[in-house]
Amino acid sequence: MADVTSLHQQKPPTAKKPAAAARAGQAGAPQTDGTDNPSHTHVTMEQALDKSLKAAQARLTGGLSPIALMATYSDWALHLASAPGKQLELLEKAGRKAWKLANYATFCATHPETSRTCIEPLPQDRRFRGEAWQKWPFNVMSQAFLLNQQWWHNATTGVEGVTKQHENVATFAARQVLDVFSPSNFALTNPEVLAKTVAEGGWNLMRGAQNFVEDVTRLNTGQQPVGAEAFKVGENLATAPGKVIYRNRLIELIQYAPTTDKVRPEPILIVPAWIMKYYILDLSEHNSLVRYLTDQGFTVFMVSWKNPDTDDRDLGMNDYLSLGVMDALDAVSTVTKGQKVHALGYCLGGTLLSIAAASMARDGDERLQSMTLLAAQVDFTEAGELTLFINESQLTYLEDLMWDQGYLDTKQMAGAFQLLRSNDLIWSRVIHDYLMGERSEMIDLMAWNADATRMPYRMHSEYLRKLFLKNDLAEGRYLVEGRPVVISDIRAPVFMVGTERDHVAPWHSVYKFNLLSDTDVTFVLTSGGHNAGIVSEPGHPRRHYRIQSRTKDAPYTDPDTWLAETETTEGSWWPALVGWLAQRSGDPVKPPSLGAKAKGYAPLCDAPGTYVFQE
């Protein structure tokens, strides 16, 4: 592959850009971060010493601030120590649980095949559902663990005086520690592992040890997980045909070849998240949203983000807005001869697209025909357990780590996301791969998930501070070109998708767009999680969704009422999106050319381009 840093960075001479976007696009220009902090690049010698020390600490702690954790523990412990009533309540609960467990153990000793329980696990906890866990003594072990887990939840919640975030962090931390000691994680206390060990004469443990050594070796040498080598970008991933028609220092813009004789005049511009490679929406041939849209008669463009390195440390949110969304929109408008655009944003890309749409509406730019947001948030007050890692102490610690190296590394991001779903992403793998000695079959979505990207220092700091910590966008303080933008300025109709089991952008948080908007909104709630719920092609088994539209003049409906009143539809939500877009599109016409050479957008190379191959 050619060195992409030496490739021609094309800038069309005739591209017209709103003045605000043009001024915002001064990539790397010295500027403040909007938080009254000095420039990211200029620090004193004393500040550099502090930052370097914290960066070294952060590498040992996985990016988690020990000071933030100590503040949480101190807040909880001191308030609990000064609450004798709460202590008495916990003592009484411990006594009742011990008595309940003793009675249960006695009953199980005389009725070994009983299915009776004294506590039920949470709905998402699947560790003890197997039939073997219902037999003595493993049923007693699992019940003892669940009772202990429940007691610690009682101990870390409801302590008067503890701040809400500290309470949430204390509860989360207690759960993480307890999960380590779950009886399901050990061979001698897991009946399913014991049965397999006996049946195979211990060969499962031998294979598990080999799996562990192989995984550690691959991790330490920077190799992809086992099985990922079977999936290659451009061969069986990201294979939709097309051309890169524009490239700058941050993006490549792909225009996909039409697959129908005629297309809708309004093109679709997809802005994916830059925390991962763009091709989640163009995975394999059978589950590619790009292919599905082109097969339905749409002209599709996709942004492919560069994987930033140390040289990109000072790229900020304004750079992503200008060099990403606005430059891509200029190119799409030029190639399609001024047609209005259906813009679609996924996750962080959806948040950035919302900022772009709000700034365009403020400045009178009417190039958007509609906006589709997939698992994207504009209000971060209920952004799920990810907010546990967002406070002043933690962000400062993370910023010092990024300052030292110029970016946030993929491994440093992965830890936090794995902790949010430790039972699914950590301990289930320990049991399956290392105790059972088995390997899960690698699939395209898992291979994509292993192809992570870095995050520039400045951008990630601004994103976490302005959006997560201060919620500036939802509260009207987010500045684009020195002036605030507000979601209520957007007049283009909006199609929104949330997913039922999303740990990154919980659907209640996604739904908050309805509180801020002043336009027609169609909201879809689909089965699955943050990624699998979006990659939900027609024919995918066990998929369902709910959909309901609201006009801008309709009264607000809270999310729980919306859920109760909206019927479930079986199947994929993709046809619903196509139908919604078709209603807002003109009659089919002849497809536009791939690129527009005469206007500075000559095809540069075949899809999937070059940026996607950057490691």
Q: What is the per-residue pLDDT across 48-95, written as a single tens digit (0 to 9) for each?
A: 777 777 777 777 776 678 888 899 999 999 999 999 999 999 999 999
Percent of the chain whose pLDDT exceeds 90? 71
What mean pLDDT is predicted for residues 378-386? 87
pLDDT of the residue at 419? 57
Alpha helices in 112-202 (DSSP H): 138-156, 164-180, 191-200
The more confidently predicted of residues 76 and 404 is 76
Mean pLDDT calculated for residue range 148-160: 96
Instruction: Characterize the bridge pairing of strands 407-408 and 455-456.
Output: antiparallel
The DSSP symbol for 570 reads E
In this structure, the number of other CB atoms found within 10 A of the CB of residue 56 comes to 12
In this prediction, residue 405 carries a pLDDT of: 74
Whether pLDDT at 6 is above 50: no
Name the residue among 42, 39, 36, 166 with its Cα closest to residue 472.
36
- Mean per-residue pLDDT, 522-547: 95
Average pLDDT value for residue range 407-431: 68
Quick check: 103 pLDDT over 90?
A: yes
The yes-or-no verdict on residue 23 having pLDDT over 90 is no
Amino acid at 62: G
Looking at per-residue pLDDT, the higher value among 221 and 522 belongs to 522
CA-nearest of 388, 452, 375, 396 to 422 is 388
Side-chain half-sphere of 603: how many Cα atoms within 13 Å?
14
The whole-number average pLDDT for the span 578-603 is: 96
Exactly one of 108, 118, 347, 605 is catalytic; which is it? 347
Q: Is pLDDT larger for residue 293 or for residue 5?
A: 293
The answer on pLDDT for 460 being more than 50 is: yes
Of 99-113, 417-431, 445-459, least confident by mean pLDDT is: 417-431
Residue 7 has pLDDT above 60, yes or no: no
Query: What pLDDT score was predicted for residue 392?
Result: 83
The answer to whether residue 118 is catalytic is no
For residue 413, pLDDT beyond 80: no
When the pLDDT of each residue in the chain is averaged and rounded to a whole number, the result is: 88
* pLDDT at position 281 over 70: yes
Task: Specify the residue for token string 């005739």.
Answer: 14
pLDDT tens-digit readout, 112-135: 777 788 899 888 888 998 999 999
What is the pTM (predicted TM-score) of this model? 0.87
